[in-house]
Structure 1
Amino acid sequence: MAELTSLLSNKVVLALLGLASFTYFILFDLYFASPSQGWEVKVRNWQTGLLALISAQPLLGLLGTIQGLLDTFEFISIFEVLSQQAIMSGGISNALITTKLGLVLAIPSLVFRQLVLFKLKKQRGHS
């Protein structure tokens, strides 16, 4: 439970979750909407924006990792600790969580975007 609290106190993690939630909302809205001519226009209009939103997810994860590593090295440089190896391994482990989260959130977004495009292609075939 402490790990979850620590994770949710990270501003990059919160930004990642917010960005992914917004991206998934748009994708769900596009995928589950009834196909029509207006729907096709909406799907086409969102394609560039969706790619930007999806691409930002792993980049935000990397930003979190960089910030976590910087925080770890700053902590080590300020405090003379007996076991710097334990501090470093714990800090690096926590830092890498944001990269993992960014990838875990981006991959389903890409798959779901492709499903929306398949639905658009299928709709055009029936028109």
Structure 2
Amino acid sequence: MKKFNLENDPKITSGFTTPDQYFEQMEARIMDRLSAPETKVIPLWHRSSVWMSSIAATLLLAGGLTIYYNNQPIPATSLDDATVETYLQANVNSYDLIQHLDESDIQALEKSIVLNNDAVEAYLSDHNNLDLYLNE
């Protein structure tokens, strides 16, 4: 590499020059720009239309979300007969059923029940409550 000396070697010009009297006129140009007439600033929140629009948007959003969440489909669950029967046996007794029956329902039930002596005897022997029924 060739050694060079900054003081003895010829200087290279950059090619960039400033216009004549650039720095002398710069202060005057800046002051002219600063003294330009101020524009009137209208605050955004002092307009009544913006307030009304904000309130309307809030009400629409609240109403839309309410309708959206209330109209969600309820997941369908299928219940088999055993599950329903187990629930009814655990939570509903015969007195609850009797309170909801009227005369026509009771008459329909009486007509549909057919008792024969063999079925009654088999039931009584299976449940060991024979003494209770015989004493009444």
TM class by shorter-chain length? under 0.3
What's the TM-score once normalised by structure 1's chain length? 0.26
More relative contact order in 1 or in 2 (CA 8 Å, sep 6+)? 1
Write 1 or 2 for the structure with the bigger share of helix. 1
What's the TM-score once normalised by structure 2's chain length? 0.24
